[in-house]
Chains A and B, each alone.
Chain A
Amino acid sequence: MTTSEKYVTAAYCVVFAVVLVYVLIMALKLQRLEREVDELAVRVPEDDAEETPREPARVG
């Protein structure tokens, strides 16, 4: 591998790593939010949950 090839590979690896870390952070955050939704669902009485149809949340 020449020096140029090493640097080009490093540049693309940096881009990949940054995007990967960002996606992992977002995935962890969404997991946490999912857990919190579950916790809240437990706190809401089951009767209320059945009677009141929940409005769908925009997530993307």
Chain B
Amino acid sequence: MGRTARIPLPALAVASLVLVTTALAFVFFVVPNDANQGFSQRIFYFHVSIALTAYACFVGAAWKAFRHLTKQDPDADLESYVLVHQGLIFGTLVLLTGSIWAKISWGHWWLWSEDQLVLFLVLFLFYCAYFMLRYSVDPGPRRANLSAVYALFGVVLIPVSFAAIRLAKGLIHPVVFTRHGPNFGGWILVTYCIAQAAVLVLAYTLYRLELGGKRLDGRLRELREALA
């Protein structure tokens, strides 16, 4: 995230606010009702965007973990940790918005028979366990290495979760991205793209905010130790 790290945090916050507001305006005032699902389909724009952002956070965490293990990048462990945390926040939102959408569309909050839902939950719980592992080891190189290996293993679950919907039989969860591209066009595609950009910028802003806090916390701890 070299060049983007130079963008000031207030500018990112303003960009997030503008994009999220624009996306919401498109979702509620521009895009037409879906022919099959009607008004309830409007959950799709943020639900799918948040899901892909959660995957992006986990992939980013794995990339930072890889950098920590191969190049011994001193910041990579903290960045990987913050990305996993962001991924879990967005993962929570995916589960919550997905459950609400499932209740309207299928009449159930959750269906254990749906492979993609269950695999996403497995992925979510796998990354929850990342924190249990991290905080069960004392801070230091050992903790950083164990966390990095765990974050790298987790990324394997992402293609499985993504492919599950295409491999499963008798599913009711809709397929929005096929080999030929997105399964929609027109205003739906435009609105989805704006929502996706909004959620990605929001996630990056929150990532920078949390990372800044963690770095400051680390520096303060060092200062306190030096003064003691």
Contact = CB atoms under 8 A, between A and B. Distances in A.
Contact of A33 (B89, B210, B213): B213
A8 B28 CA distance: 10
Contact of A12 (B9, B46, B209, B212): B46
Contacts of A33: 213, 216-217, 220
A10 B40 CA distance: 11
Please classify the interface of chain A as helix (H, G, I), strand (E, B), loop, or mixed, using the class held by over half of its residues.
helix
A8 B77 CA distance: 38
Contact of B216 (A12, A22, A43, A59): A59
Contacts of B208: 60
Interface residues of A, number: 28
A44 interface: yes
B64 interface: no
A58 B216 CA distance: 8
11 contacts: A7-B43, A7-B100, A8-B39, A10-B100, A11-B100, A26-B210, A33-B213, A33-B216, A40-B220, A44-B227, A59-B9
- 4 smallest A-B Cβ distances: which pairs? A59-B212, A60-B212, A60-B9, A4-B40
